[in-house]
Amino acid sequence: MMTDIMTIIWKEFRELLIQRSGLRGGWIGLLILVGVFGIVFPLQSGSEWLTSPTTILMWSWVPFILVNSIVADSFAGERERHTLETLLASRLSDKAILIGKICSAIAYGWGITLVGVITGIITINVANWTGMLQFFSPLNGLAIFWLSFLISWLAAGLGVLVSLRAASVRQAQQTLSFAFLFLFIPLMILPLLPENLRLIVANAVQGLDFQLLGIIIAVFLLAANLFLLILALRRFNRASLILANNP
């Protein structure tokens, strides 16, 4: 089945390259995102960027945006382009199609996130060279690496599940936008709070055991991702999708 999964991943990336080249500002938008998160923010924060918990939160947020920008197209886009029936009529197994689409979305979001992180490390070292290489602490580096992967997986699993039943890419994007707002409202509200409340929140955060919190969050995300994967596998029915595509 691995060969079939790789076939789907290759197909998805080939279509994504074509789609991005045809979208005005597609690749430019990605460069801007990497530039803002990997150059502008590190320059503003200085070496503190490597030690601040905010950096971990930021790089947990970025892959969700990246995956959301493409995953709505996974099945709804095939349906709109009238290529879904051809895909479902192929010899590829249901699991290979579904897992391949999820893996391609994860690779896209996680891969670009890691490029942004590496760009940030380079920026910090070039702008604040101290004679030796500056890097994240092992704990912070590990947290960014795995949390960005688990968040990418969460967005991919949720997006594919929504796209399976969405009548159009637009409908899938709208549904995923609500999910994005629900998950990240706290991060968007925090800068708008009065200064005294922000200080209270900051003091409360500083008193947390980040190692334990990170483990709890990682375990929760892993469980949620496995649940979404199992749910998607159960809802993926080739016969019903073909019938839905040909009312």
Q: Which residues of 154-177 are buried (b: 16+ CB within 10 A; e: fewer)?
A: bbbbbbbbbbbebeebeebbebbe
Cβ of 103: how many Cβ atoms within 10 Å?
17
pLDDT higher than 70, residue 205: no
The answer to whether 235 and 227 have CB atoms below 8 angstroms apart is no
- Answer yes or no: pTM beyond 0.75: yes
Residue range 184-195: average pLDDT?
Answer: 64
Cβ of 28: how many Cβ atoms within 10 Å?
11
Calpha distance 187→151 (Å, rounded): 15
pLDDT digits (tens, 9 = 90+) for 143-187: 899 999 999 999 999 999 988 888 788 888 888 887 777 766 666
pLDDT digits (tens, 9 = 90+) for 2-18: 888 898 888 888 877 76
Which among 103, 71, 94 has a CA at the least distance from the CA of 240?
94
Q: How confident is the model at residue 189 (pLDDT cuts 50, 70, 90)?
A: low
Based on C-alpha coordinates, what's the Rg of the chain? 20
Average pLDDT value over all residues in the chain? 82
Token pair, residue 2, equals 């691995």
Q: How confident is the model at residue 24 (pLDDT cuts 50, 70, 90)?
A: very low
Residue range 110-116: average pLDDT?
Answer: 93
Residue range 55-68: average pLDDT?
Answer: 85
Q: What whole-number percentage of the chain has pLDDT above 70?
A: 83
Element (H, E) at 97: helix 94-127
Residue range 126-142: average pLDDT?
Answer: 85
Q: How confident is the model at residue 202 (pLDDT cuts 50, 70, 90)?
A: low
Range with lowest mean pLDDT among 23-27, 49-53, 54-58, 192-196: 23-27
Token pair, residue 112, equals 């670009």
The answer to whether 72 and 162 have CB atoms below 8 angstroms apart is yes
Q: How confident is the model at residue 247 (pLDDT cuts 50, 70, 90)?
A: very low
Q: How confident is the model at residue 226 (pLDDT cuts 50, 70, 90)?
A: very high
- What pLDDT does residue 21 have? 55
Q: How confident is the model at residue 117 (pLDDT cuts 50, 70, 90)?
A: very high
Provide the CB-side half-sphere exposure for 229 (13 A, CA): 18
Burial of residue 146 (CB within 10 Å: 0-12, 13-18, 19+) is middle
